[in-house]
Structure 1
Amino acid sequence: MPLTDLTLAQCLALRPDLDEPADLDRFWTRTLDEARACDTRPRYAPVDTGLTQVTTYDATVPGHDGHPVSGWLHLPAGRPQPLGCIVEFLGYGRGRGLPHENLLWANAGYAHFIMDTRGQGWSTAGGDTTDTATLGGTVPGFLTRGVDHPQHHYYRRVFTDAVRCVDAVRDHPAVDPDRIVVTGISQGGGIALAVAALAQGLAGVMPDVPFLCDIRRAARISATSPYTEIAEYLRLHRDRTDTVFRTLSYVDAALLASRATAPALFSIAMMDDICPPSTCFAAYHRYAGRKDLRVYEFNGHEGGQGHHRREQLSWVRDLLAAGKPTGAHPPHAPQLA
């Protein structure tokens, strides 16, 4: 697969000037204050998976507007509590799946919460999270749902769900509230960056090949779904370009990254034709906390896969063993993989 975007040297030098809404912080403060006003408590029901070394709970968390959001909470059996916790957000079109499918972090000795993404994916175990809004005038997909106004946009609800899931695990008796790390691949990476900006007191964040970064540029250069949803919408609605990109700026993870200070481990793939590397670098360069980077020079959107999971396991172990650094620090030199 050839390069489809800028070279690594160009990406390392890139400092895009992004249009930031003047009320971005007020918008998200108001949104989260409204969500946290809900007095519904999270619920955890034990699940019989047939496994003996991991205990799993079917979680229901009040998300945006108090709407129930499903998830799995995995706890390693026999480990002393409270535990460090990995909160994971999923890729585009994926739901939480089956309770026994994703056990890496629990096997490494951490609590692991997997958030179901509203309106996406499925689970034969039931408990799928539906979307609360019915919005017309969109092309297939999620990027243009409610794109007429920031208040209506789909990812406003998803980001709020994600922050509320972090709130929920922080209050769980099995979890150490000072040792929570958020992570995700693609869409999940963009959500993780947003949560790192919007949730206080995280120990770390691991965004992999993140989606939803420098969205205007991505819509212009990506020839692959999901970003093509924006171009398809604007091909039909030629007079709405300014409105669309103003709305999307409120959920642009590259803009929100400048508010995030937890230590971060990014991964970026230079032959990624779904989340162009220049857009991922926009988030990396704007990230305000201490940050490490792994660059997969000859990989596409699959990124580092198992090789990067090994990097993450070592990074989280060292991070949580050393305690939680705070504040902004210069980036470490990127490592090519």
Structure 2
Amino acid sequence: MPIIDMPLAQLQAYTGTNPRPADFDDYWERALAEMRGTDPQIELVPSAFQTPAAECFDLYFTGVRGARIHVKYARPRGTRERHPAVVQFHGYTGSAGDWSERLAYISLGFSVFAMDCRGQGGRSEDSGGVKGNTHNGHIIRGLDDEEPDNLLFRHIFLDTAQLAAIAMNMQEVDENRVYATGGSQGGALTIACASLEPRIRKAAALYPFLSDYRRVWEMDLARDAYAELRTYFRFFDPQHERENEIFTRLGYIDIQHLAGRIKGDVVMGVGLMDTVCPPSTQFAAYNKIMSGKRLEIYPDFGHEGLPGMSDKIIQFFLQE
């Protein structure tokens, strides 16, 4: 098998390269306090898309810093009993996608909450100076601010935890059976959600993004999804005089440093030929998870669909 990263035995022992800020735990406790102090002002608007089996709503809530976050919320029509729910997160710059993508879970009796990340391809706002779409550059947003509390992915990570809590508080949802899933950026947000909202019972993450930034840089893979790292250095630190400072600040929004907070069970899918989110960066997060976990390895696959993985995730969520 060709190798684009470390041999598997090394991956299984690898615990990351990117620095962890000394005040990391205080940073996130402060962030969570801000989130909990934010009035979500939840609004449910019936969607134009409806089916005999699914009742569909555009759900809006207010996240930290005043952004209105949009979620596609679908629940089994006519159900009166409390039932499980899945929160879903999409890839970088994308959106929650089509309503029809929720129907497999609806058929199994799950409610589904699919979030649009603020300022990307859906309807959620980026309140950082403009309303609406800012689409890209989210990793480096806030790097030059005086306060690391203004990193944009801090706010997005908090949105995931806030949404999970909203789902748990829905009258029809069993708060003890709320699960999270997504791929790439969605995989990172799944890890962040389960870390910041430890009541998440199960999490299924595919090839998570936003992990071990310095390792990405050292592998010369700051392109594709990570291209803005190279752009930042070229424009704002061309001689890398602040390199250690920059990677340390990125450590606040590095999911590997959050992963140890997870309490629920985790399944992660990884392709060992992934050059977008290198396997070592994914293992850096996986190896820090202390709760029950399982890794599904695809030796010949990269950052792409992993055959059978969607079925494995559904089975994982169905197991009591």
TM-score normalised over the length of structure 1: 0.86
Question: Do 1:97 and 1:121's aligned partners in 2 also have CA atoms closer than 8 Å?
Answer: no
Per-residue CA deviations over 1:9-65 (Å, capped at 9, x if unaligned) read: 321232335522121111111112112212343121221314211111110022122
Distance 1:60 1:22, change over 3 A: same
Distance 1:81 1:215, change over 3 A: farther
Question: Do 2:204 and 2:267's aligned partners in 1 also have CA atoms closer than 8 Å?
Answer: yes
Structure 1, 235-244 or 25-34: larger mean CA deviation:
235-244
For the residue of structure 2 that corresponds to 1:226, the secondary structure is helix
In structure 2, what is the equivalent of residue 324 of structure 1? none
In structure 2, what is the equivalent of residue 227 of structure 1? 226
Structure 1, 86-95 or 39-48: larger mean CA deviation:
39-48
Structure 2: stretches of 5+ with no match in the other structure: none
**How does 1:278-289 map onto structure 2 within 5 Å?**
278-289=280-291
For the residue of structure 2 that corresponds to 1:227, the secondary structure is helix
Per-residue CA deviations over 1:158-204 (Å, capped at 9, x if unaligned) read: 01111111111111111111111111100011111112111131211
Counterpart of 2:289 in structure 1: which amino acid?
Answer: Y
Does 1:171 pair with 2:169?
A: yes
Q: How far apart are residue 2 of structure 1 and its match?
A: 4.9
Question: Do 2:17 and 2:215's aligned partners in 1 also have CA atoms closer than 8 Å?
Answer: no
For the residue of structure 1 that corresponds to 2:203, the secondary structure is strand
In structure 1, what is the equivalent of residue 301 of structure 2? 299
For the residue of structure 1 that corresponds to 2:253, the secondary structure is coil
Q: Tell me, in whole angstroms, the C-alpha distance in 1 between the residues paired with 2:275 and 2:230.
A: 16
Counterpart of 1:132 in structure 2: which amino acid?
Answer: S
Q: How far apart are residue 103 of structure 1 and its match?
A: 2.6
Counterpart of 1:143 in structure 2: which amino acid?
Answer: I
Counterpart of 2:173 in structure 1: which amino acid?
Answer: V
Q: Tell me, in whole angstroms, the C-alpha distance in 2 between the residues paired with 1:79 and 1:140.
A: 39
Counterpart of 2:296 in structure 1: which amino acid?
Answer: R
2:143 to 147, 156, 159: 147
Question: Do 2:88 and 2:180's aligned partners in 1 also have CA atoms closer than 8 Å?
Answer: yes
Question: Do 1:192 and 1:206's aligned partners in 2 also have CA atoms closer than 8 Å?
Answer: yes
Distance 1:232 1:256, change over 3 A: same
Q: Tell me, in whole angstroms, the C-alpha distance in 1 between the residues paired with 2:65 and 2:176.
A: 26
In structure 2, what is the equivalent of residue 256 of structure 1? 258
Distance 1:140 1:76, change over 3 A: closer
Q: How far apart are residue 242 of structure 1 and its match?
A: 2.5
Structure 1, 148-157 or 260-269: larger mean CA deviation:
148-157
For the residue of structure 2 that corresponds to 1:100, the secondary structure is helix
**How does 1:32-71 map onto structure 2 within 5 Å?**
32-71=32-71
For the residue of structure 2 that corresponds to 1:289, the secondary structure is coil
Q: How far apart are residue 226 of structure 1 and its match?
A: 1.6
Q: Tell me, in whole angstroms, the C-alpha distance in 1 between the residues paired with 2:62 and 2:136.
A: 27
Question: Do 2:119 and 2:135's aligned partners in 1 also have CA atoms closer than 8 Å?
Answer: no
Q: Tell me, in whole angstroms, the C-alpha distance in 2 between the residues paired with 1:40 and 1:302.
A: 35
Structure 1, 288-297 or 70-79: larger mean CA deviation:
70-79
In structure 1, what is the equivalent of residue 157 of structure 2? 159
Q: Tell me, in whole angstroms, the C-alpha distance in 2 between the residues paired with 1:231 and 1:69.
A: 29
Distance 1:110 1:66, change over 3 A: same
Q: How far apart are residue 271 of structure 1 and its match?
A: 0.7
Counterpart of 1:309 in structure 2: which amino acid?
Answer: S
Q: How far apart are residue 132 of structure 1 and its match?
A: 1.0
For the residue of structure 2 that corresponds to 1:250, the secondary structure is helix
TM-score normalised over the length of structure 2: 0.91
Counterpart of 2:52 in structure 1: which amino acid?
Answer: T
Aligned residues between the structures: 311
Question: Do 1:72 and 1:96's aligned partners in 2 also have CA atoms closer than 8 Å?
Answer: yes
In structure 1, what is the equivalent of residue 100 of structure 2? 100
Question: Do 1:34 and 1:65's aligned partners in 2 also have CA atoms closer than 8 Å?
Answer: no
In structure 1, what is the equivalent of residue 318 of structure 2? 317
Identical amino acids, percent of aligned pairs: 31
For the residue of structure 2 that corresponds to 1:31, the secondary structure is helix
Q: Tell me, in whole angstroms, the C-alpha distance in 1 between the residues paired with 2:152 and 2:224.
A: 17
Structure 1: stretches of 5+ with no match in the other structure: 123-127, 322-337
Q: How far apart are residue 288 of structure 1 and its match?
A: 1.4
Structure 1, 190-199 or 235-244: larger mean CA deviation:
235-244
For the residue of structure 2 that corresponds to 1:210, the secondary structure is coil
Q: How far apart are residue 260 of structure 1 and its match?
A: 1.3
Question: Do 2:13 and 2:287's aligned partners in 1 also have CA atoms closer than 8 Å?
Answer: no
Counterpart of 1:188 in structure 2: which amino acid?
Answer: G
Q: Tell me, in whole angstroms, the C-alpha distance in 1 between the residues paired with 2:287 and 2:172.
A: 35
